């Protein structure tokens, strides 16, 4: 099931706010949601969990790169793509502009990616 970040249930929001804040005290979810709105990227529930559990930081550069990768992959007819940017990997469903899963740099070692038909390295 694919959900936009805005649709995280209230209990999940509170848990995220309790557990994950940056040095300035701003909740991770608030930063993440604002940055994703810049590019109209959807995030699956699975990807939300992976991003939070793995502590993957997604900045404006990553959001812009993922959007660029989605547009490029879409122009080539790719449906599911691996996007690698700044040592982070994202499996993205191109037609729905949805991040399906995310992996941090340490998790990329000795990893096999399946069910993709394209890869973009930025």
Q: How far apart are CA 72 and CA 78, in angstroms?
A: 9
Number of domains in the chain: 1
pTM above 0.75, yes or no: no
C-alpha 38/C-alpha 72 separation (Å) is: 18
Residues pairing with 119 in the sheet: 82
Instruction: Give CA separation, 43 vs 52, 66, 109, in Å.
Output: 12, 12, 24
Tens digits of per-residue pLDDT, 53-100?
Answer: 988 988 888 888 999 999 999 999 999 999 999 999 999 999 999 999
- Which domain, by its residues, includes 32? 2-121
Residue 24 reports pLDDT greater than 90: no
- Nearest CA to 93 out of 42, 29, 22 is that of 42
Q: Rounded to whole angstroms, how far apart are CA atoms 43 and 99? A: 5
């Amino acid at each position: 099931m694919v959900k936009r970040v805005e649709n995280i249930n209230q209990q999940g929001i509170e848990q995220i706010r309790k557990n994950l804040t940056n040095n300035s005290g701003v909740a991770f979810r608030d930063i993440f949601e604002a940055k994703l709105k810049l590019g109209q990227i959807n995030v699956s529930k699975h990807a939300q969990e992976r991003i939070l559990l793995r502590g993957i930081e997604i900045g404006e550069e990553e959001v812009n790169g993922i959007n660029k990768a989605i547009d490029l992959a879409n122009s080539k007819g790719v449906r599911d793509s691996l996007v690698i940017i700044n040592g982070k990997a994202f499996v993205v469903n191109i037609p729905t502009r949805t991040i399906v899963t995310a992996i941090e740099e340490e998790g990329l070692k000795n990893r096999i990616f399946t069910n993709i038909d394209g890869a973009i390295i930025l």
